[in-house]
Amino acid sequence: MNDAARSATDSTRDKHGLIVIGGAGGFIGGSLARYFHERGHTRIRAVDKKPLPEWYQRVPGVESLCMDLSESANCVRACEGACEVYNLAADMGGMGFIENFRVECLRSILINTHMIEAAYRAGVARYFFSSSACAYNTELQKDPKCPALKESDAYPAMAERGYGWEKLLSEMFCQEYWAERGMMTFIARFHNVYGPYGTWDGGREKAPAAICRKVIEAKDTGRREIVIWGDGSQTRSFMYIDDCVKGIDMITHCEELIATPINLGSSELVSVNELVSLAESIGGITLERSYDLDAPRGVGGRNSDNTMIQRILDWQPNRPLRDGLEQTYAWIEQQYMDRKAGKRTVS
Ligand code: NAD
């Protein structure tokens, strides 16, 4: 085990400094709050603009605040007394959202801009920013068989319109707050995260959740068909949520990674067609496939090159897709049934 892994799992690490998590009413932020809480951190402040009853997870013992972090005064309040700040707040979703709401995506620049300044003024020791594989040059991702993306592939820049450019510019803020002002910042480029407590319906859901839901719906209604966005040949890798939160912790406690964007993603590449087959086999059903070629499909292919994370952290996200998808399918199925029964659900 190397230093970063040791620090992330170190039982002697200070557990009483205030951790602030922006976007904690959502999927990854909520899971991160739970992760730190379960590891004995005693002071966690979770912040999200959604009203508290709409948060995906509320962790007992965690201070939960409803505030819009695109406003500077709220960021100042959120960062008060913080040792570490994790910014996971963003207006985001799957391809259906980021291709149709580019202005909303770009406006998330306000969140990081105010949050990082507030963190700096509050004297925080470590600041984490959740970037995305959408920051990579889209020219390199046309072919479903394109090589995995390594960290240097973000430049020359031609990021995903809207969402990707917001991420790239926010990364630069993080790098300059370190270079010019000496605040330690950490940046992970997430590749498609999935798992329980993720958005699974409503238009912002990503492919794994959407496909599980469609299979569950088909089983429930008896309409044994599924509509796939694009021709199904587009490839992606998908990271299970437990790997994501562990990776965030390890990256943020690795001095070698200060102000250095790093991939945080699985390198298990599958096509959307293969993802559908996996969900079908978990659901024990085979569906008639049709393809909506006008639907948003994103780039042709995208995978995470994990050479750097493996070298520096001696670790990489490793939950097999089949295993993670089984957990996710079971959770979405329960959500689906709960909603049918008129109970409150996530998204
Ligand atoms: P999510 O939508 O579930 O969570 C984001 C949360 O941010 C939401 O609860 C939302 O209400 C909140 N938010 C939005 N605007 C806000 C504001 N002005 N003030 C306060 N809160 C605000 O998304 P997620 O999947 O948990 O993503 C978390 C972060 O990870 C985001 O920055 C996202 O861009 C990044 N990311 C996610 C993925 C993925 O596959 N889920 C991939 C790449 C990057």
pLDDT tens-place values along the chain, 347 residues long: 566 666 666 667 889 999 999 999 999 999 999 999 999 999 999 999 999 999 999 999 999 999 999 999 999 999 999 999 999 999 988 888 898 999 999 999 999 999 999 999 999 999 999 999 999 999 999 999 889 999 999 999 999 999 999 999 999 999 999 999 999 999 999 999 999 999 999 989 999 999 999 999 999 999 999 999 999 999 999 999 999 999 999 999 999 999 999 999 999 999 999 999 999 999 999 999 999 999 888 889 999 999 999 999 999 999 999 999 999 999 999 999 999 999 989 87
Residue nearest to atom 8 of ligand 1 (CA): 26
Nearest CA among 289, 76, 321 for reference residue 191? 321
The count of other CB atoms within 10 Å of the CB of residue 44 is 23
Contact 282, 323 (CB under 8 A): no
Tens digits of residue pLDDT in 58-68: 999 999 999 99
User: What domains are there in the chain, each with its CATH number?
Assistant: 3-193+239-264 (3.40.50.720)
The contacts of residue 5 (CB under 8 Å, 6+ apart) are: 250, 313, 314, 315
Q: By C-alpha distance, which of 53, 73, 67 is closest to 21?
A: 67
Report which of 101, 86, 73, 96 is spatially closest to residue 131, judged by C-alpha positions: 86
Q: Are 244 and 190 in contact (CB under 8 A)?
A: yes
Residue 6, pLDDT score: 63
Indicate if ligand 1 lies below 6 Å from the C-beta of 230: no
Query: What pTM was computed for the model?
Result: 0.96
The answer to whether 261 and 186 are in contact (CB under 8 A) is: no
- The phi, psi pair for 113, rounded to 5°, reads -60, -45
How many angstroms separate the alpha carbon of residue 180 from the centre of ligand 1? 27
| Residue 91 Cβ < 6 Å to ligand 1 | yes
Burial (CB < 10 A; 0-12, 13-18, 19+), residue 68, is middle
Find the 72 Cα to ligand 1 centroid distance in Å: 18
Ligand 1 pocket, residue 23 CB under 6 Å:
yes
Distance of CA 239 to the CA centre of its chain: 9
Q: Tell me: the pLDDT tens digits for 83-113?
A: 999 999 999 888 888 989 999 999 999 999 9
* Separation between Cα atoms, residue 8 and residue 293, nearest integer Å: 44
Contact between 20 and 62 (Cβ < 8 Å): no
pLDDT of residue 260: 98
Ligand 1 pocket mutation pick from 20, 21, 28 by most atoms within 8 angstroms of CB? 28
Mean pLDDT of the residues in the chain: 95
**222 three-class SS:** coil
Residue pair 195/137 in contact by the 8 Å Cβ criterion: no
The amino acid that residue 194 corresponds to is Y
pLDDT at residue 278, rounded to an integer: 98
Q: If you measure from the C-alpha of residue 92 to the centroid of ligand 1, how many angstroms do you get, rounded to a whole number?
A: 6
Structure tokens at 18: 């205030």
Instruction: Locate 236 and state its tokens.
Output: 């992606």
Owner of token pair 């068909």: 225
Phi, psi dihedral angles at 144 (to 5 degrees): -55, -25
Indicate whether residue 88 lines ligand 1 (CB < 6 A).
yes
Report the pLDDT value the prediction gives residue 342, as an integer from 0 to 100.
95
The residue whose CB lies within 8 Å of the most ligand 1 atoms, and thus the one to mutate among 31, 102, 190, is 190
330, 337 Cβ separation under 8 angstroms: no
